[in-house]
Structure formats: C-alpha cells, structure tokens
Structure 1
Amino acid sequence: MSESAEGAEETNLSRYVVGIDLGTTNCAVSFVDTTQDPWQVESLRVPQWVDLRQWERRDTLPSFHYEWTVEEAAGDAPRLPWQESSPASCVGLFARDAGGRHPGRQASSAKSWLSHDGVDRTADLLPWHGEAGVQRLSPVDVSAAYLKHLREAWDYEHPDALLADQDVVITLPASFDEVARELTVQAAKQAGLPRVYLIEEPQAAFYAWIDSQGEAWQDAVTPGQLILVCDIGGGTTDLTLIRVRAAGGGQVQFHRVAVGKHLILGGDNLDLAIAKYAESKWQADQPETKLTPSQWERLVQASRVVKETMLATERPEEYTINLPAEGARLVGGAIQISLTAAEVDQTLLDGFFPAVELNTRPEAGQSGFQEFGLPYASDPGITRHLAAFLSDHRRSGMGDDTEAADRPDLVLFNGGVMGAPAIGQRIVDSLTRWFADESDWKPTVLDNQRLDLAVSRGAAYYGMVRRGQGIRIAANLGRSYYMQVSDHPPTGLCLIPGSAEAGERFVADTHPLEMQIGTPVQFPLWVSSTRLADDVGEVIPMQSGEATPLPPICTALVQKRRRKETTLRVLVEAELSEIGTVGLHCVDPVSGQRWKLDFDIRSTLETDRTAHQGGGEAAGIVDSETVSQCEEQIASVFASDWKGDSQPPSRLVKALQSILEQPRAAWPPSLLRSFWQTLFDEQAGRRVSPQHESRWLNLLGYCLRPGYGVAVDDWRVAQTWRVIHNKLAFPAASSSIESAILWRRIAGGLTPAQQEQLVLPLNAMLRGKGVRMPTNEALENWRLVGSLERLDIQTKIEWGRLALQMSKNKKHAKLHEAMIWTIGRLGSRQLTYGPLNTTVPRDEVARWVEQLTARKADCSSLPLALVQLSLPTGDRFRDLAEHDRDAVVAWLRGAGASEHYCSLVRDGGRLETDDEAAVFGETLPLGIRLVRS
C-alpha cells in the first residue's frame, strides 16, 4: 500500500526559487523571482577569476578546482569581493585554464568521481595525480567547493535574500545511484545549503524546453508521441523517454517512463580519445620516445580545445597542438602535433557515434581509458548504448494504448557534447535508419537554446512546478526496488514500484518478516528499470538481465539499548523522499518502533563490491549437525571454567578438522563466519590463560580473513576491533604476535582510521628505538604494516624507505624477508583491496626498484615483490617507465625467476593462485578473491 507525503502546504515560501546545474564541466545558476508577475526564469552571471587578479561575471562556472602556486598567491593575494582573506584555491574559469599549465594542481570531473563505486567517494583523492604538497580533496569536498562559490556569489548579489534561505533545486544525472544522490545532498549541506531538492538532468532539460516555448509547446506535441531526451555532458550520458498522454479538456500530460543505465561516458572521453590519437600520431615518427605523465596531462587539456574547435560549425581544416618541452630539452624540445578535421571526425564521430543496427548491444570488457582512474563505459559507442536502451524501453508505458508510438517521434538534445551539430546529426541519422522502415519518417528535433544553461533553467522552472505553477512532468521513479528474501534462485520482495513519485511511502505488509534481535540483519537490495509494473509486496524472481544488485542494506536491531536475543515480526517501510533518495525502515507493527536500514556503502566502495553475490556465500554450506559439534568443541575449549584436564587450546584445530573430515584450508566462508560467531560469544574463555588467548586470537582472525567477502563482514570486523584493540588480556609475547597476525589477516575490512591507529605505536619499536621488540614479534608487525593498504601515501613512503634501509643491514637479517614482502605490498601497482588513491607514486616506486635490482637474489620474497612493484596496469600514472620494467625483467632472468614473472612485468596480467596467497600472506577462504584496484 502507499501513502502520499504530499499535500502538506508549505508556509513561509522563499522569494526566490533557484536552480543549480552541478555539472561535470560547467555549473550554472538560474532563478525565479516570485514577486514578479508574470514570473520568468533568469540566469545569474557568476563572479569568478578569469585571469590572475582579474575577476568577471560569466554565465557559467567551469567545474574545476585549482590550488594557487606560491608565485600566484604572492604579493597582493587574490581574493574575490566577498572574501575577507585570500583562500588557497579557486574554482571556475581561471582554475580551468591554469590547470593546463599546472595539471597537478587542478581537480576536475568531481561529478564522475562522485558516482564511482570503485573508490571511497568521501576519501581525499583529488587531484587524482596531484603535485606533491597540493591539498587532496574528496569528490564531495570538490563538489561542495563549487556549491560554496555559487552560494557566496549569490549572497554577494542578493544580500537581503541569502541562498540558504531560498528553495534550491540541484540537478544530477537520472542514472545516479542512491549513494551518489546522498553524497550530492551531503555536498550541498557542506556548502551551507541545508535545504535542497534534486531533479534529474534530462527532466530539467525538458522543463527548460517547455519554458522556452511559452504557450507554443502545445502545438509541438500530440498524445501518443514518445520523446527521447539524449543528454551527453562532460562526464555522463543520460537517456530518458517521456510519453505524451491525453488529459482532460484537450490537454496533454508528460510521463517519464524510462531511464537509461549509468554511463560514465561523455566529453571527457572524447578529450581522451583525441589525446590518444594525437599521441599515437606523434609516436609514429619517433617510436622510441614517449610522453611523460605531465606532458600527457597537458595533451588531454589541449584536446578539450581541439574537440570544441573542430566540432564547431565553422572550423579550420587543421589544428596544431603545442606542448612545451620538459627537463633537459627545454630548448628545441617542444612538441607539435597537427590534426586534420577528417582525423577528428574519424576519432570522435566514427569512434563514439558509429552506424550500427538497432539490435546491436554494447560490448562488455574493460575500457581502454585507464589514465584518470574512472570506470569509463567499456564500450565508447554511444549509438550502441542508445540502440540497447531503445530496444529495451521503447514500449515502456504504452499500456493498452494502441496509438502510442514505439519509436521516438521527438528528440531533445542536451549537454555540452550536443552543442556539436555533427554529433546531433549522427544520432538523428541513426534513429531514422532504425525506425523509418521504407517511409520518409525521421524524428523531429526540439530546439533547446543555450545548452549550457538549459539544465539550471529547467531546475528553476521545476521549483515553480513544485509550488503548483507551470507544466508538470509526471515523473514516476522509473525503477523498482526489491529486497532479497531468499536464495537459489534469488527472489525479491518489491518495496518501491516503478510508478512511485517523490514523497510517496510504501509498506510491504503482505509479507511480514521475522528478524533476529541483537544481531546484524542484512538483505541485499536489487533495482530494475524494466520490471515497472510489479506491485509493493509481490515476491519476484530476480532474473539476470531484469534486475541488478545494489549495496545491501543492514542494521542491528536492538531494543532499549540491550542485546536481547529473540525474534520479532516486522514490516518493511520504504519511502521515496522529496529530494529523490530512498529511505527504508523495519517497523514493529505492535509497538511502532522503527529501525533505519542503511545502505552498506563500504561493502560497495571498499571491500566486496557485490556483497550479496560474493563467492564467499556460494563456496559451500556444512550441515547444521556437524556445525553444532564443532561449536560445542570450541565452547568446551574456551569455557570460562576450563580445567587443566580438559582439551588444551593447542589441539582445537586438529579436533575441528577431525569432526569435519577436511583440512582447515578447505573450510568454506559460511563455516568460518559461524566459527567466528562462536569464538566471539565465548570470548571470556580467552582470559583463562595466555595459551587460550593466543589460540583464540589466531583462530578468530583465521575465521574472519580477509575481513570482507561475506555479508555483514563489516559488522564482524567492527565488533572484533571493539573487543580486542588495546584490550589484550595477557602481556605475553604470544598474545602480541597473534594480535598482529589477526589484524594482518582482516586488514581488508579495517577503516583507514583503524589502520592508522595500528601503525602509530609501531613507529618507534620497528625503527629499533625505545623498547626493543623481540624478533618474532617484529617480523609479524612488519607484515602487518605491509598489509595496511589504506594508510596514506606519505606513511607508506616512509615505511617503504625504512624497510629498504633496514633490509640492507645484516643486524636485521632475520627480518629481511618480512621487510621485502612489506615493500612489495606497500608499493604494489595493483592493490589487493585498497582504494586507488592510496597507491604510492610511480617515481617513488621506481627508486625502490632501482635499489632492489641492485641487490643479489638474497631473499626468496624479492622476485614477487619486484613483480608487484612493476606490474603494468594500463594507467601511465601508476605504471613504471618501460626502461624500469626492462631492468626488472633482466634481474628476474638473472635470478632464475619463472618466465611467468617476466611476462607479467613485460605485458601485464594476473598473478597465479599461489602467488596471490604469497601476496596475501596465506591462502584465502574458498570462493573469495583479492579485490584488485
């Protein structure tokens, strides 16, 4: 059943309604002054730096963040009129242009990073390839910086109507996932905008078209028509279908019926393609020479200008890119690359908008663009994505209307890329070829003036629609949400139907659920953009191709702050908020008590990216009777009243292997996590003796390794941290050693803050200062340091340099193997679980490799460490230079290493299972693999 949250009249309405286009390449602000009659949408010209110490008002604010150099900030420090002091950075036009000179000081594409589910989007990772000393910011921080600038610019122009007090509508891609939407709201709050609404960009673009037409829009549309909104911006491609339906009194209504998949594919990709082509053309004449990473960044910056120039209606026949010389060749070393109009057309038009058939599907695989660390769409062919979208959705929303069109009669283009007439014509030609049959049909292109302002203008118009004025698009959700309630095959309980609109609340009361109190509960969440007719409460098979997984939702149900182990019958309540985010609660229908269900974001960002499809759950289940025998064995060993004549802790593993009739390496993750729970419940038994504690710690870490891969592992790791960190029962060396092993084993589930806490007390001891650490303990702590991949880059560099220095000293000979292993982990080009933003820079690692290849093969761990340090990834900012990799290959061959190692360093690839075990430190549980960045 549904319950509408609409109807509550708003009071104290603000004077202004403001729309903000938070774009990948440009931001814009439009507004309505509601005191005007008739009201109209206007645009704010945004004050910003256009040159050093020169500011002007411009229609848009380029989405670039730049940290001033010392020279730029010297003297009369630059500050805008509303700034009391000079900030260390700026955003806007100057930030965009200065980045061409100093790319390592510029952060860009924050919006694409905000939707990147392969990194921690709240981590300080921009500029992605920043210069040393430049402050790193998270995608949320950079987005907040743009919004803060827009807020301050607005307040400067409207001191009596501050932006924080107005109705503000922010735009985002229709395909943004729930996490990206939440983070957009977070960025707004961080920028001082506590009250915002969200609207999807294609809808905003269509609202802008309605507004621009005045009353004439009614002459352009008729009931039954299907409208395609094709929005290709700087970072994303968004596809939306809107149906025109008849309403009473001869009027029409607009219904948004389909939204495409999230595609990080846009103007940034076109820039990269031009840069790739230009580089290959230049290298054809000098194959032995390669661009440096900084030259490459400048080339990408220049390629944006090439794109804009060569796709314009009036364009030259040729464009020459000039790159300054670097290093010793400052005189006479500049690079010039000339591109013809035909070459640009072939690269961009044929590469991104090829002529394909309607039944064509995008190709799977990995994108060829790795330099920016973003998960670009694997297939750059936008027309292939368009063909798949229309094939899947062109009949959506037709119902029983036999007059409804199944081809897009009208097309509305939006986004910076669509400013190029040649691209728009390619798309029109494709649609005509797909649907014209033998007639002379072709779609009508709706005129949307000022593509750079359309989205912000449409957002402001939508703000008035929310107040009951203007023409409304009946924009139902267009996606159905399901909570998985059973496995094999997975089935889902429909929580939110595709017909939902913002503000509606739903209760799945046809299928009450039984929840365990006092322990974490977790349900995977699924979303479908094709199953739009399912009703709330229906149980539906989650068939491949019809639904895709989202981060799971999880909580720990606790009553009155006490752990109460019982079950409770609950209902699931779901709400699509006014700002477009999904909220879920478990509700006790008797008491009315509610528990918030949160997206388990970390399971998607940092650990097992598909927690409910992980191999860990599928690796095998042991029958309950056998599990009970094992749990009884564990409980007997760790009983708080354990007697000396009972089974000693040292024989526990052998006893468990005997019961299970299989070695512990074959224990499946489901069994391991069950043992973890039993050990955790029996934690009092670790205090019986030092032997009990060391065995308890050893087995607990073994059962939870690698800290991810099974549902709710984040909760298990958090609980482990709570009861063990700095809380060992005995000062014995065995407890210290086993705790270090435990943290190494589950490091993949530890947060950056927890990893920092682990390494701080080791600083002095591992350097041989202060209290001397016994060799066995030092060995395990060195390995612990190497396993902490979420440490910040500078900390990794310091530990890597220390390991290099100490591993040359014969006094530390017993620790050399552990130190070399640690160097390989710290400087690895492909992290086993950590986010890309913690990768040690390649220049630093090149120095490590130079020192290591100067050594004899005196450590068995050295060949694998060198492979980790030099394995190519396809990202020129991570990969070592070719001559460095050649040196590694020569060393490996001289040391008699396997040809497989040489091949990995030369050509790239995956480590074998035994090598992955060596990298991790031991075997992984069945079905769980290292999650490589």
Structure 2
Amino acid sequence: MNSRETNDDQNEFTLARFCIGIDLGTTNCVLAYVDTERLGAESVNDGSNGASEFQVETFLVPQWVDLDVAEARATLPSFHYTLHSTENLSRSEKHPWLHNDNEDLATCVGEYARIAGLLHPARQIASAKSWLSHEGVDRTADLLPWHGDPDVARRSPADASASYLRHLAEAWDAEHPDHPMSEQDIVITLPASFDEVARELTVRAAKMAGLPRIQLIEEPQAAFYAWLDRHRDDWRDLVQVGQLILVCDIGGGTTDLTLIRVRPADSEHEKDVVQFHRVAVGKHLILGGDNLDLAVAKAAEAKLNQTLTPRQWQQLLAASRQTKETFLSDSRPERTTIHLPGEGSSLIGGGIQVEMTAEEVDELLLEGFFPQVDLDASVTAEQSGFQEVGLPYAADPAVTRHLAEFLREHRRTGLDQNQEETSNLQESDAVNLVLFNGGVLTAPAIRQRLVGSLSRWFGEPAVLDASRLDLAVAQGAAHYAMVRRGHGVRIAANLARAYFIQIEQNPPRAVCVIPADAQPGTSYQIDQLPMELSVGVPVSFPLWVSSTRLADRPGDVVDIDPQTMTPLPPIQTALRDRKRRDQSTMEIVIQSELSEIGTVGLFCVSGPKRWRLEFDIRGTLETDRESHEYEGESAGIVDEETLDECRQLIQRVFVEKSLKPSLLVKRLQTTVGSSRDQWPPSFLRQLWEALMDVQDQRRQSPSHESRWLNLAGFALRPGYGVAVDDWRTSQTWRMIHGKIAHADQQVRAESYVLWRRIAGGMTSGQQVQLATTLGKWLLAGPSNQDMAEANEAWRTIGAMERLPIDTKRAFASAILEALDRKKMAPLHPSLLWTLGRLASRVLAYGPMNLIVPAGDIGHWMAQLTHSKSIETQDSAVRRLAAFTITQMTRRCDDRFRDVDQPTRDRALTLLKRLDAPDHWKELVRSGGKLDHEEQQAVFGDTLPLGISLRG
C-alpha cells in the first residue's frame, strides 16, 4: 500500500508548471495537460474559482504508425508488440527519441503495435489493463502475451502498462526537456471498480515508468470533470439540486457505473453554487469492447462453419476488433469482409474470408449486450462463454441487466441525509441526467438503447453532451489536477464503498474500519474493540469491501454476507518491538485512513507506535482468498483440554522420549476421538505450531525425524485455506529445506511427502529450487534401490503447479519415456499421477498462465495411445491412467486450454478401452466439475475438512 501524500509532495506539485492527465486505457492511452503559465493574472472569484482561466490541451503522441513511418497522434493505442525478425524500425529524424540507440528496436507500442498484431497476434500484448484486475493469475508474473510465440519475451500486466506510460513520458520529455514529466503534477485514471491490488499495481507501473509521484482518479469522475470543463460558463443552468446523474463508462475492458447526486453548496456565500457528490460505484465488470470483439469473432467463426486453430482465432479476434470499430464509426459501410491468411502450405492463396454486415453486427451487439430489460431484471451468474483469452469476463454480458441491478441498489443512496433538499422533487430517486463515456458508447445505436432503458424505468433523462469520448477521461484528469490547486468545482467523491476487517470465525463477523462516506485524508481509530496480539508472529486480517452496505460506521460489527460483501487479498503484519522482547503480547487497536492518493491504509496501534498492515501483493491468486471464507475454520474446533493433551503427547515423543514415534498418530486419534482425516483445519494448524516448538528434537533419530516430517506436512496441507498459511509455509521451508538431519531413505521420502502436501502454499521460487534439486536425480534415472524414494519425489514434482511451462515439459517428456520401460514399472503409478498434474487443463491452485499449452497435450496423448504398457497394467494402474488422461483432456471451453477434436476423440477411445467411469468421459466430452473423490485423487491425499481445490 502507498503512504499518504505528504505536505512536501503537495508543495512540489503546486510548483510544477504543467498539470498532466493520463488515461491509461485498455484500448488507447491519452495525455492531456494544462500549462499553468498561461493562467490569467487574476482569479475569477465568482464560484468558478478561476476555472475559466486555464485551458486543457491534448498532447499529440509521436509513435510508429508503420515500418519507418512515425507520426504524432492524439491517442496511443494500448498495444505492445515484439517485432518479427523480418521487421525493422530505424531512427525517426523527426522524433529521434523513438530510437535511442544504434541497435534495432525489439519492441514498440502504439499504432504500429496495433496494426502489426493483426497479422502476428501472438507477438502482441493487448488489454493489459484488464489483466491488472484478473484474480485468477499472478498479476505480478511475466505472462503476456497470453499464449504468445516462443521467441517473444513475456511481461507482467504492470510492466506492459509501464511501457505505455514510459512511451508517453519519453515523448513528453522530448518536447519539454526543461520540464520532464516526472517533475509535473500527474493524475492517472483507473476504473472506479478497480480493487486495491489493481490500484497498487497501477501505482507500481507508474514508478516503473519513472513517475514516482502520481495521483489517481476514477474514470467516471474524470469524464464528469471533462464535461464541467466544456461547460464552465453554463453548467449551473444545466443541473439542479436534488438531481441524480448517471455516468456510464464502457471502455475497451470494463463497464464502470457511477452515480453523482447534486446538492447545494455548504458555504453560505455561495448559495447559487451546487456541489457534486459521488454516492455510488458499480461492481467491477470486465465487460467492454473486448467482449464485443469476442462476440463478433465467434459469429464470424460460426459463419465459416469450421473450428479455427488457436493462431487463426487470434488473427480473427484482432480483425474482429477492427471490424467492430468500423461498424461503430459514423461513416460505416453496409458490409465488410474479414480476411485471414492461410497456414502452412496454403499460406499463399489459401486464406480464409468471411463477410459481416452492419445489420448482423447491430443485432449481435445490441441484443447480446444491450437487450431491453425491466428494472427488476436479475444478473445471471452462470459462467461466461467468453474464456478465449484467459480473462474472467463478466458472467452475464448484458450491460442493461447490470445497469438495472446497480440502479435498484443505489438510486436512493444519499436521500436519507438530504430529505429536506429533495422533498420538493417528485422523482428524487430517478436518474435525471446521464453522461456517456468510453469507446463503446461512440455508437449512436448503443447510446439510444441505454437511453431507451432509462426512459422506460424513470422517464427520459437529459443526456449531457460529450465531445470526443476517447479524449474526455484524460482531459478530465488534467482538469482535476487544476481543481486540486483551487481552480474550478470539486466533486465530493467519497469512497462509495465500505471496508471491513473480519474478527470472528463462527459465525463470520466483521467490523467496519472505513465508512463509505470517507474523504481522502481522513482517518479513524477503532478503539471499541481492543485486540491482544502476539509480538513477532504475523497476524492476518481478512479484509472485505461492500458497495451496498453504505450506512455502517467505523466500529460497527456486522455479520458477513457474501452476497453484499466481497473479499480482498489478506493484509498482514508481524509486530516487532525491540524494547518489549520479553512481552509475548501487546494490546493494540486498529487505525484506518483513506490516503490522498486514494488507497486504503490500515495500522495496528499500541500507544505512540503504529505498524502498517500490508496488502499481500504477491498473493493475488484465488487460493489467497480462501481464508476469507473461513470454511476450514468453521469445519469444527477441538476444545482446549483435548488440544493440551495432544501437545503433551508431542512432548512425550520428542522431548520426554517416553512414547515411541510410531505410536504418536494412533494416540492422537484416540485422544481426539476421530481419525486424522476428520481433524478440522484449525486443530491441524495448532498441531503444526506444537510440532514447530519441538522441531530441533526431530534430529535425535531417523524415526523421530520421519514422524515429525510426516505429521507436520499433514497438519499444514494443502499449504493454504487458513489465515496466515503463507507464513506457516515459509517458516516450514526456512527450517526444513536443505536441513534434513539424517541421510536416511525414509526420512528423505517423508520430506518429499511434506513438500507435496503443502506445495499449494509454496512460492514459485521455492518450487523451482526444489524441482531443480530433484530433477538432477530423477531425470538421470533412479536405481532399483531408490524406487520407494523416487515414487514420492516424482509425486512432489507433480504437486508443484507454479513451475515454468518449460520445466513441466521436461518432466513430462521424461515420464512418457519411462512409461515404456519395464524397468520403471514400479514407478508407473507415481509417474501417471504426476503426468496428470503437470498436464492438467484445470490447475488445483496454480495460475492459469502456467497451464501447459494444448498443442503439447496432443503430442503426449499420441504417445500414450501408442504405448502398450498402459493397457497391460493391473486394474488399479489402468484406472489411474484413465484419470490422468481425463485431466489432460478435460474440456474447459477455453480454446487455448482445450485440446483439438482429434486428441479428444483419441482420449475418449482410450478411456473406453480402460473402462473409465462415465463421469470421466463426460468431463472430457463436455466438461464439468470434479466430485469430492476426484478432488482427493488430484490432490493425492485427503483434503482437510472445508478446503477444496479449484474446479
């Protein structure tokens, strides 16, 4: 998280000559600015606060528009492209900064990156902004372009975003060498619905681009500031107190909905001036122009009556984006033809073409995305059919249904506090004014469809005029930078969402720490609920956010309702105090603040000292949110007396030496009164703590170390699902990796079992380090004496889903070779299980960017089909082979993960010969969910109660 802007920063901003607004868009970036030296000598003190004294201008951005052709344009397309060996961009004489060295450029951004991507889509990064908010991948990992060519270097979403900002900064600096961008007052826009991680990554991208100090503003607010900028002289005549303004912003990647209520000014001497209060923000919806592109592409593919290859599909998708923009333009044709080049031997003269008409596209986009619905229409929760590029698109593509739901929930927000002001208005809860923004809404038919929906619900609203929608957000951001200096009218933008920290598990309850009406710079102290926390041990606070619970105040304790509250990545800290080392606990209270930059700050406070609670930016995967649900903890608890008896048993084995290690688990089960598979996660983690207390004593004998490793891994499995599991896993790694005390085969095997069980909590670096060590031995081929140990080592490899794809390929190739060698028969069960995990279409916990491409699966399935060893095995191994094939070819309706039809047919034929269950065949044929028994088979062990795998 980012600390609050300091007064020194504000003074530096005030001295900057230029106020710059940057729209870091999904499809285009725009830079607008105000030159403060052109301000009039006197401020106008008539309520405009000098608003008429400055001019917002659009910066023309030099960029490559073709090979060796550079031009300056108002928009910088948000595309990053890695040049092919046949392409070369030499130095531009007019814009020499475009090529600052003597070597050929390897990459470029902007118009040429957009155009070149039509022919080589696997070399192009698009929609990086959408990836910043994708919870299903590691957003800090180098994963773009998604399914790019092998020779294309991958970049993280933040790095790709930084490349656009860096290009803007270099272009600006070349034109303003005495006023570099890094020293100016910069405001960057982002979707109002961006979660805290996406906001932090936007700030990180700016820093990577050399812009360490920025302000953030939400795009709908910026769009409204742009409207105010265009109507400085007459905006008072266009709005009235009590009116409700809807800002509908549909860009390339997201749909952003915002409500602004018009209220009278607080100041007595400005009674004729109103205030604008942003009162509500919609949910985060990855629903925008990209979705429309996909719809056009799918319709075009359907007309072709053939399934395209992934490469052809990428080309069609890029061409469909251009087709959509053509039909959304003012001077659109009646029809257009999409051309795709051929592949292989048919590259020349073997291309594919399909004709699309304006009428077809209108019907597709209007009825599919903007259908006529009633105000009580409900958003459907089924999975979106759009899984083609790995992004989690909104399940329901109908923008009008999302709009109806948003207005039902929020159109009365703010009325309770302003009843006197709005009592004379007949329709104070109706949308009176609407402002459109975003590239999708350049289409008149789409705007008309939305106005028609609002008219049916409330009566026809007045539409606030807009100029170029693609420039408005940047212009509004520049205007806002001037408002921060005291010029113009400010929108009183409260959070419009409340934040809660979870404090109880069963039933789950939380305390409000930041209310929805919080203003930037305000702080709160939750001293009604003092907490006692241990020093030196990380404490985790599951954090929730709600855009519907807007009346809760700081300190209010509420029941957690997943229907109205959304989990955020956990925040945590480890309290350390050098002066109080002897004290194991300290009393703290929670303090919260909304920083000037727009990020949330949370602190543990004890007297004069404060410890910052940090968002775990690394932990941006779905597994890191498991602890919010507390399903594991709510699966049951063990009373303190029983827990004490279990701790004593552990002491008897490892400290007192009065109980044999081999009897420990049996005695624990007797004490608890249930088999260890029934022990709840909360109890298991307490056992882990008891084992860590005696970890030094594991060294006294191989039997002690084996039992300790076995039970520690069992208690911490699967490495996630309970708060602070990432810390527990890191502690286990620090104490165990490379520190096994006994050179004993059983001890080593048990260490592999431990890593396999907790792999879900290990970092990618830890997994790579362990796989490198094991790979040197396994790939060389273990001896007959090492088979038992090798079995566990191979399973450890299979459990590590965060390994790089090339590493997975290497291990899978070795497995396929080993399956045809009789000498390796004792390892076949482990090898098959590992192959299933390495080649799975749906990972148990790992990020989507580390799924092995479908093309590899086709080759591996061909090898398995021709292998004679599988069908000659006993029934148990045959069943395991069938489940491996199921995981490798399971349908998931994602073109880049799904195998082609010949491979699917081959898999179904082999499953039939192996007598596979019907459900497994259905998973391959049509897709679906794994049942509990199948999840256990994937995990390779029993899962703790209340914790499940993805998919």
Alignment TM-score > 0.5, same fold: yes
Q: Which residue of 2 aligns with 1:618?
A: 634
Contact kept? 1:226, 1:407, Cα under 8 Å:
yes
CA deviation after TM superposition for structure 1 residue 562, in Å: 8.0
Choose the corresponding residue for 1:220, options 230, 238, 248.
238
What root-mean-square deviation, in Å, do the aligned CA atoms of Structure 1 and Structure 2 show? 2.1
Alignment of 1:258 with 2:258, yes or no, is no
2:950 is paired with a residue of what secondary structure?
coil
Question: Which letter does structure 1 place at the counterpart of 2:145?
Answer: P
Question: 1:16, 1:253 → 2: CA distance?
Answer: 27
Question: 1:387, 1:43 → 2: CA distance?
Answer: 35
1:489-540 per-position Cα deviation (integer Å, ceiling 9, x unaligned): 3332221111111122222223322222232222221222223233222223
Question: 1:106, 1:229 → 2: CA distance?
Answer: 32
Question: 1:887, 1:124 → 2: CA distance?
Answer: 34
Alignment of 1:607 with 2:608, yes or no, is no
Alignment of 1:275 with 2:297, yes or no, is yes
Question: Which letter does structure 1 place at the counterpart of 2:296?
Answer: I
Question: Which letter does structure 2 place at the counterpart of 1:179?
Answer: V
Q: Which residue of 2 aligns with 1:593?
A: 609
Give the number of aligned pairs.
914
Question: Which letter does structure 1 place at the counterpart of 2:379?
Answer: P
Q: Which residue of 1 aligns with 2:936?
A: 917
Q: Which residue of 1 aligns with 2:659?
A: 647
1:10 is paired with a residue of what secondary structure?
helix
Q: Which residue of 2 aligns with 1:439?
A: none
1:625 is paired with a residue of what secondary structure?
helix
Alignment of 1:898 with 2:917, yes or no, is yes
1:719-756 per-position Cα deviation (integer Å, ceiling 9, x unaligned): 10111111112222222111111101100100000001
1:46-78 per-position Cα deviation (integer Å, ceiling 9, x unaligned): 011100111110100000010001111388899
Alignment of 1:352 with 2:369, yes or no, is yes
Choose the corresponding residue for 2:16, options 14, 17, 32.
14
State how 1:126-525 maps to structure 2 within 5 Å: 126-247=144-265, 248-283=270-305, 289-330=306-347, 332-398=349-415, 399=417, 400=419, 401=421, 402-403=423-424, 405-436=428-459, 442-525=460-543
Choose the corresponding residue for 1:62, options 57, 67, 77.
77
Q: Which residue of 2 aligns with 1:535?
A: 553
CA deviation after TM superposition for structure 1 residue 812, in Å: 2.3
Question: Which letter does structure 1 place at the counterpart of 2:856?
Answer: E
CA deviation after TM superposition for structure 1 residue 601, in Å: 4.5
Comparing 236-245 with 522-531, which one deviates more in the overlay? 522-531
Alignment of 1:849 with 2:867, yes or no, is no
Alignment of 1:84 with 2:85, yes or no, is no
State how 1:710-721 maps to structure 2 within 5 Å: 710-721=722-733
CA deviation after TM superposition for structure 1 residue 477, in Å: 1.2
Question: 1:865, 1:297 → 2: CA distance?
Answer: 29
1:857-911 per-position Cα deviation (integer Å, ceiling 9, x unaligned): 2343321111111111100111110111101111111222222222221111223
Question: 2:575, 2:26 → 1: CA distance?
Answer: 40
Question: Which letter does structure 1 place at the counterpart of 2:925?
Answer: R
Alignment of 1:794 with 2:806, yes or no, is yes
State how 1:681-696 maps to structure 2 within 5 Å: 681-696=693-708
Q: Which residue of 1 aligns with 2:45?
A: none
Contact kept? 2:64, 2:111, Cα under 8 Å:
yes
Taking structure 1 as the reference length, the TM-score comes to 0.95
Question: 1:879, 1:301 → 2: CA distance?
Answer: 20
2:86 is paired with a residue of what secondary structure?
helix
Q: 1:879 to 1:564 in 2, by over 3 A?
A: farther
Contact kept? 1:502, 1:580, Cα under 8 Å:
yes
Question: 1:907, 1:622 → 2: CA distance?
Answer: 42
Contact kept? 1:764, 1:770, Cα under 8 Å:
no
Choose the corresponding residue for 1:73, options 59, 66, 88.
88
CA deviation after TM superposition for structure 1 residue 828, in Å: 0.9
Question: 1:259, 1:716 → 2: CA distance?
Answer: 37
Question: 1:49, 1:563 → 2: CA distance?
Answer: 60
2:377 is paired with a residue of what secondary structure?
coil
CA deviation after TM superposition for structure 1 residue 327, in Å: 2.3
Question: 2:143, 2:198 → 1: CA distance?
Answer: 16
Q: 1:502 to 1:673 in 2, by over 3 A?
A: same
Question: 2:566, 2:911 → 1: CA distance?
Answer: 44
Contact kept? 2:836, 2:887, Cα under 8 Å:
yes
Contact kept? 2:841, 2:888, Cα under 8 Å:
yes
Question: 1:403, 1:336 → 2: CA distance?
Answer: 61
1:72 is paired with a residue of what secondary structure?
coil
1:772-825 per-position Cα deviation (integer Å, ceiling 9, x unaligned): 982222221111111111011111111111111222222322222222222111
1:298 is paired with a residue of what secondary structure?
helix
Question: Which letter does structure 2 place at the counterpart of 1:546?
Answer: T
Q: Which residue of 2 aligns with 1:286?
A: none
CA deviation after TM superposition for structure 1 residue 555, in Å: 1.7
Q: 1:332 to 1:712 in 2, by over 3 A?
A: same
Contact kept? 1:604, 1:610, Cα under 8 Å:
no
1:615 is paired with a residue of what secondary structure?
coil
Question: 1:679, 1:178 → 2: CA distance?
Answer: 36
Question: 2:645, 2:621 → 1: CA distance?
Answer: 37
2:380 is paired with a residue of what secondary structure?
coil
Question: Which letter does structure 1 place at the counterpart of 2:677?
Answer: A
Q: Which residue of 1 aligns with 2:68?
A: 53
1:662 is paired with a residue of what secondary structure?
coil
Contact kept? 1:50, 1:93, Cα under 8 Å:
yes
Identity of aligned residues (%): 56
1:651 is paired with a residue of what secondary structure?
helix
2:687 is paired with a residue of what secondary structure?
helix
Contact kept? 1:549, 1:610, Cα under 8 Å:
no
Question: 2:645, 2:94 → 1: CA distance?
Answer: 72
Comparing 15-24 with 290-299, which one deviates more in the overlay? 290-299
Contact kept? 1:5, 1:505, Cα under 8 Å:
no
Comparing 605-614 with 882-891, which one deviates more in the overlay? 605-614
Q: Which residue of 1 aligns with 2:711?
A: 699
Q: 1:6 to 1:329 in 2, by over 3 A?
A: closer
Question: 1:565, 1:678 → 2: CA distance?
Answer: 20
Question: 1:230, 1:481 → 2: CA distance?
Answer: 24
Question: 1:76, 1:42 → 2: CA distance?
Answer: 28
Q: 1:563 to 1:725 in 2, by over 3 A?
A: farther
CA deviation after TM superposition for structure 1 residue 281, in Å: 2.0
Alignment of 1:629 with 2:645, yes or no, is yes
Question: Which letter does structure 1 place at the counterpart of 2:75?
Answer: T
CA deviation after TM superposition for structure 1 residue 446, in Å: 0.7
Question: 2:203, 2:95 → 1: CA distance?
Answer: 26
1:301-332 per-position Cα deviation (integer Å, ceiling 9, x unaligned): 11112212223333222222121221243355
Unaligned runs of 5+ in 2: 40-52
Alignment of 1:674 with 2:674, yes or no, is no
Question: Which letter does structure 2 place at the counterpart of 1:44?
Answer: F
Contact kept? 1:614, 1:928, Cα under 8 Å:
no
Question: 1:562, 1:848 → 2: CA distance?
Answer: 59
